[in-house]
Structure 1
Amino acid sequence: MRRSPAAAGEDPFSVVMRLAVLLSGGASPALAWQHLAAGGDPTLRSASAAADRGGDVAAVLRAAGGSWPDIAAVYAVAVETGAPLAETLRTVAVALREASEVSAEVTVALAEPAATARLLAWLPVGGIPLGAILGFDTLATLFGDPVGRLCLAGGAALIVISRIWCRRLIRSAQPPPRVPGLEAELWAVALSAGASADRARAAITAGSDAVAPAGSSPVDATLDLAARAGVPAAELLRADAWSARHRARTEGREAAARLSTRLLIPLGVCTLPAFLVLAVAPLMLGLLRSGFVP
């Protein structure tokens, strides 16, 4: 059965861009959310209800999961610091969409080596019918012969080790869930609204877990540079955010390239030996038992 658009859920970034247009056209936040909720999306309906009663819209968006928490952080910081909501949402939505595209690009790059690893994981199991094709009862050897049972246990253990090893390699190559440059974007929003550094940190800490402790974040170095150079920190922070997204794209491609090579290690150490003990060894054992080999 085909799902309705409301059931499928709205694209958060498209919603934010439409919200920015409605706010730019003079609509109040409550009215803008009401228009967006007319399609029946549960998240938008909850956000509209919160806006109508003057509640915390950011909390509703944060609870929706997916990409909504990142948008909720921007929304919360803009409301708390008094930044122009329409302009802020329009600017940051583009940045967040770019970050989402970076994550998707890295995921696509990792898909090929991951699919190859999953395919090769079936190689030992697929080798078992080889004996039957050659006229030998490989299964009877594996389950009925003492040496065959040892081969079966050893091959099964190697397969399990190989799969766990490959999964860990693939998981370690996945991009981090945090949006690259989000902290810098949030700081740029807060400082552009004229908030002090302390107020900006408080607003960002309340709206998102993307902020690092004071003194341990690259944002602090950028703020120090802006203070020493006497230039607006917001533009430097937006440049930092762009650099973070560019760096994430480069590192993701490098991780995908390294993954293709690293997956050869469990293949050589576990998968191929598993094929030997599950397919070749029972075949040779069957030949010995049948007297074909003197």
Structure 2
Amino acid sequence: MRDPECTPPIERVAAVTERLAVLLAAGVPPSAAWGYLASGGVSRQGRGGPDPARIPEVLAAAAAAAQVGADIAVAIAEAARGAPDGTRQRSANGSRASPAAAAWFPVAAAWSVAIETGAPLAGCLHQLAGSQRALGQAQRDIEAALAGPRSTSRLVLALPVVGLLFGLLLGFDTFGTLVGTAPGLVCLTGAALLMLAAWRWSTGMVNRSTPRSTAPGLAIDLTAIAMSSGVSVDRAVAVVTSALARFRPLEPAEPPTSRSASRHERNRDDAVISGVLALSRAAGVPAADLLRGEADQVRRDARSNAQQAAASLATRLMLPLGVCILPAFMLVGVAPLLLSVLSSTVQGIG
């Protein structure tokens, strides 16, 4: 049985999105649908702690906005960004949006596009829920693939400490030699520098192998939603561009590498959209279905690339092991042991 605590936030949001689509398809007005979800305890089932997807807060904000005729998409985004104390949530590096915001921003963008273009809300949300579930499964697969390399990086960082303890178990005062003699202090300083270098090196490798995009193919999905309403190509592109500018999975203060990756992703999506729209005009076929197929392909490619990066990471993590960790192991595990032996020998001869 699937543990609710291990469910990615995007899958929890997908379940809410699907329920909302069902209510709207049954003829329930949006204001009433949001109210039913907010009061129905959807987010509390199976959990006793805080919800990383911030479902209660978002549903309450959306229901309140719907009651007074405010912008529901903006209410969703602001509630997803907000922390319990009212501040904005950010990850540890301050550049990535929180998991809640990354899961809810596509919903806000899709809602905004559907309202602006007059696309059917129920169908759009149903398609979005399917995309979210696919992304959730991809996140599970990627986390599973990265679990081994992450464990390896933590394990190899502990090797020098193991060497130090091994010397103590053999009866040698390796710790005293490290901190009480000049050669020992040199070894300890060198090992500490090597450990720091190995930690930064391995952490950087793991971070670079972790996917940056939280919603691959989102622009293509939004364009499909806009085109399903029958609006012109120019109108659809303008509405999608506006929605992406207002509801983005990444915060504005991105590091240069993330900005470059985001720019590459936008250029790729723009090229795909342009190609599909040109094909649609030339063949006289609806563009929405073609765009949805391309969005699915983008998600499959992103999933495959992330899994390949995770698989190669296990091999590349051997580099800091050989260059930094093993020399650090020698400095704190073997060198103090030899110094202790030499010291004991000299004292015995004296």
Q: What is the TM-score normalised by the length of structure 2?
A: 0.78
Q: Secondary structure at the match of 2:213?
A: coil
Give the corresponding residue for 2:216. Answer: 180
Aligned twin of 2:89: none
* Alpha carbons 1:214, 1:220 under 8 Å: kept: no
Do structure 1's residue 286 and structure 2's residue 301 form an aligned pair? no
Aligned residue runs from structure 1 range 210-221, under 5 A: 212=266, 216-221=270-275
What do residues 191-217 of structure 1 show as CA deviations (whole Å, max 9, x unaligned)? 011121221122112222469479953
Match of 1:33, as an amino acid? W
CA–CA distance in structure 1, aligned partners of residues 11 and 75 of structure 2 = 15
Cα distance in 1 between the residues matched to 2:339 and 2:279: 73
Whether the aligned pair in 1 keeps the contact of 2:38 and 2:60 (CA below 8 Å) is: yes
Question: Residue 144 of structure 1 corresponds to which residue in structure 2?
Answer: 180
Structure-1 separation of matches of 2:267 and 2:140: 29
In the alignment, the residues of structure 2 paired with residue 225 and residue 268 of structure 1 have an alpha-carbon distance, to the nearest angstrom, of 53
- The residue number in structure 1 matching 2:63 is 48
Q: CA deviation at 1:145?
A: 1.0
Which deviations, in whole Å up to 9, do the C-alpha atoms of 1:269-292 show, x marking residues without a partner?
Answer: 011111011100110111111117
1:46 is matched by which residue type in structure 2? A
Matched, 1:268 2:322: yes
Output one character per residue of 1:198-253: Cα deviation in whole Å (capped at 9) or x when no partner.
21122112222469479953211222222233322212111111111111121111
Shift in Å at residue 259 of structure 1?
A: 0.3
CA contact (8 A) 1:103 1:175 kept: no
Match of 2:295 in 1: 241
Residue of structure 2 equivalent to 1:4: none
Amino acid at match of 2:36: H
Q: Which runs of 5+ in 1 are unaligned?
A: 1-7
Contact 1:184 1:238 (C-alpha < 8 Å) held by counterparts: yes
Q: Structure 1 pair 47/215, CA: closer, same or farther in 2 (3 Å)?
A: closer
* Superposed CA RMSD: 2.2
Say if 1:186 and 1:215 are closer, same or farther in 2 by CA, change over 3 A. closer
Q: Report what 1:87 is aligned to.
A: 123
Does residue 313 of structure 2 align to residue 259 of structure 1? yes
1:11-58 deviation digits (Å, cap 9, x = unpaired): 211111111111111110001011111046221111001011111111
Query: Could you give the per-residue CA deviations for residues 101-157 of structure 1, whole angstroms, max 9, x where no partner exists?
Result: 112211221111111111111111121111111111011110111111000000000
SS at match of 2:230: coil
The alignment status of 1:110 with 2:160, answered yes or no, reads no
Q: Secondary structure at the match of 1:231?
A: coil
SS across alignment from 2:171: coil
Match of 2:98 in 1: none
- The one of 114, 118, 132 aligned to 1:96: 132
Whether 1:119 aligns to 2:155 is: yes
1:223 and 1:15 map into 2 onto residues whose CA distance is 31
CA contact (8 A) 2:217 2:269 kept: no
Provide the rounded CA distance (Å) in 1 between the counterparts of 2:10 and 2:296. 28
Deviation at 1:66, TM superposition (A): 3.8
Matched, 1:168 2:192: no
Bigger Cα displacement from structure 2, 10-19 vs 27-36: 10-19
| More divergent stretch after superposition (237-246 vs 96-105) | 96-105
Q: Distance in 2 between matches of 1:199 and 1:159?
A: 56
In the alignment, is residue 20 of structure 1 matched against residue 21 of structure 2?
Answer: yes
What secondary structure is seen at the aligned counterpart in 2 of 1:291?
Answer: helix
> What's the counterpart of residue 3 of structure 1?
none
1:121/1:162 contact within 8 Å kept:
yes
Judge conservation of contact 1:100–1:179 (CA < 8 Å) in 2: no
Q: Which moved more, 1:98-107 or 1:237-246?
A: 98-107
Normalising by structure 1, we get a TM-score of 0.92
Could you tell which deviates more after superposition, 134-143 or 91-100? Answer: 91-100
The SS at the match of 1:127 is helix
Q: Show structure 2 runs of 5+ residues with no match.
A: 1-8, 42-55, 81-100, 249-264
Letter in 1 for 2:59: L
Asked whether the equivalents of residues 21 and 123 of structure 2 are also in contact (C-alpha less than 8 Å), the reply is yes
Structure 1's 93 and 113: CA in aligned 2 closer, same or farther, altered over 3 A? same
Is 1:193 matched with 2:229?
yes
Runs of 4+ off more than 6 Å: none
| Identity in percent | 42
Secondary structure at the counterpart of residue 155 of structure 1: helix
Structure number with larger C-alpha Rg:
1
The Cα offsets for residues 147-169 of structure 1, whole Å up to 9 and x where unpaired, read as 11000000000101001001000
Letter in 2 for 1:256: A
Distance 1:215 1:36, change over 3 A: closer
Q: Which amino acid aligns with 1:24?
A: A
Distance 1:110 1:196 in 2: 43
